Structure 1
């Protein structure tokens, strides 16, 4: 059946209006997933984003990567971003995210009187391409964010400064988007934003059916060759690379959450043969599927034990 074309002008806007309340220097909130602002959006405010639970795909500029519970990000001004957990149907993932948004100039101006904040200025410059924090930094950052309440209190501000200090001193950080990605081009091309959002949304919902390049091109009303060039220019990835990222995410989810045989998972995730699956998985993750399953389960078990001990200590 020929897919019904999507009219990009009917999709939601990409600019998010961030409203920081008077008397507050930042906005802290807990978000369910999905909700109305879970779109590929941008805003002049910086955003610190914590995934509290679930897994999925992170889109930051032209970066597409997998996320899991505990992943922590810093996104700079006007850099398009979104975190998608696909295949949840009508399920609501309550309190999936903690989001902290702030005007970077508030803290940059404060650095004139507080030289201790100078290191933050260096981190803010790098955030233009998006940052992901890993290791101990991620764990400490999560604990600080979880302890905040968005009340606008001096105690919350103190925790915010502590968080910026932890992040800015960390070496456990990865830059996400490529140098070639142009924020200005993406902001100017509002219509292009809507077209690529429609394409990404269609792929997110249908990738297990292995949609072809031609099929998705028809969905957004473009020729196959034009859409191929357009997709590469807007995401930084070819169509086939994006499909591989989606399939790897599904494979990782199945490896962690099921006891299915790796051969079965290979085909469930959309790969055509086991040799290609093993080779691609190893190249992208640095581990074979079996080692990934073992390592992920051990890591999850350690986190559960840590949470249990923490609860026991409080009680």
Structure 2
């Protein structure tokens, strides 16, 4: 598999707002690998390295062949394992904005067929079991195309993804603070802190203090911005990490319980079943059957 790097690095392309479709990419290591959010949609194809992916309140693993569509204002990051070899191209990205499609619908009604896909992208969508070689070729074609050809190639790809049934939604957080960058920054600070420190004691009061709010103001602010009460968000992050450990390790369930930040097994089992519909033991067993 040969992947040629584009001539211009990502930071030289991001500010070019003339094109409806923008192609970006970066390697590893890179200063562009960081926890962030923005107003555009991004379709990420990981072609090198392994590590942990953070999408809103979702924590999972990534490796070459992962394809995820991230919606506007949804914080995300792919963090490589420390022992990774440098990669010239790690992440191939197709980026576009919502207004192009919502306004385009007024002239071309068929654009509306993509709206359900874009709505799901608010949670982050991971597409499964596709042909990686063909997907890389398609991303490279979009990279090398110009103008209308680039738009048509991307529309064809989005149309395929819109009709795909083999996917999963990742995050329960759907942040809606587009009009206020300062508030968006506060939410990003909290989400970032929780995803990095989920195994520690995290209180609402500490988070309120972190972003300079009273407890009651922060509680209302976080619920309005994310659709989740703060403790619900923390539990979802912890359960997401627990799912990762249940499927990727042989650690005992009691060990996983404390590693992800719960103080007792009964509470862990109760919260896990509330969110996943099964116990941790049943979740691990079901995964083992599907992987056999």
Find the aligned partners of 1:93 and 1:298 in 2 and give their Cα distance: 35
Partner residue of 1:27 out of 23, 27, 32: 23
Q: How does 1:208-247 map to 2 (within 5 A)?
A: 208-247=199-238
1:65 matched residue in structure 2: 58
Among 46, 62, 70, the residue aligned to 2:41: 46
Alpha-carbon distance in structure 1 between the residues aligned to 2:251 and 2:105: 54
SS in 2 for 1:140: coil
Unaligned 5+ segments in structure 1 are 1-15, 303-315
Task: Indicate conservation of the 8 Å contact 1:72/1:141, yes or no.
Answer: no
2:129 to 139, 156, 166: 139
Does residue 282 in structure 1 map to residue 273 in structure 2? yes
Q: Does 1:268 align with 2:235?
A: no
Cα displacement (A) at 1:99 = 1.9
Change over 3 Å in CA distance of 1:106–1:259 after alignment to 2: closer
Q: TM-score when scaled to structure 1? A: 0.66
Cα deviations by residue, 1:158-192 (Å, 9 ceiling, x for unpaired):
753442231132345677889xx784xx1222221
- 1:82 corresponds, among 49, 71, 75, to 75
Contact in 2 for aligned 1:42/1:80 (Cα 8 Å): yes
Residue of structure 2 in register with 1:166 after alignment: 160
The answer to whether the Cα contact below 8 Å between 2:38 and 2:73 also exists between their aligned partners in 1 is: yes
Check 1:25–1:249 CA distance in 2 against 1; reply closer, same or farther (3 A cut). closer
State the secondary structure of the residue aligned to 1:188: coil
Structure 1 CA distance for aligned equivalents of residues 228 and 284 of structure 2:
27
The answer to whether the Cα contact below 8 Å between 1:75 and 1:127 also exists between their aligned partners in 2 is no
Contact 1:51 1:97 in 2 (8 A): yes
CA deviations on 1:240-299 (whole Å, 9 max, x unpaired) are 111102211221232233322111111111112222222322332234323433454666
User: Structure 1 residue aligned with 2:14, among 11, 18, 33?
Assistant: 18
Q: Contact 2:55–2:76 (CA<8 Å) still a contact in 1? A: yes
Q: Where in structure 2 are there 5+ consecutive unaligned residues?
A: 1-11
Q: Which moved more, 1:160-169 or 1:240-249?
A: 160-169
Taking the aligned partners of 1:153 and 1:197, their CA distance within structure 2 comes to 34
Deviation, structure 1 residue 27: 0.9
Paired residue secondary structure (1:222): coil
Map of 2:5 onto structure 1:
none
Structure 1, 219-228 or 66-75: larger mean CA deviation: 66-75
Q: What is the alpha-carbon root mean square deviation over aligned residues?
A: 4.3
Change (3 A) 1:294 1:96: farther
Equivalenced residue count is 270
Instruction: For 1:177 and 1:260, locate their aligned partners in 2 and report how far apart those are by CA, in whole Å.
Output: 25
The question of whether the paired residues in 1 share the 8 Å contact of 2:61 and 2:244 is answered with: no
- Give how far 1:101 is off: 0.9
Cross-structure match for 1:305? none
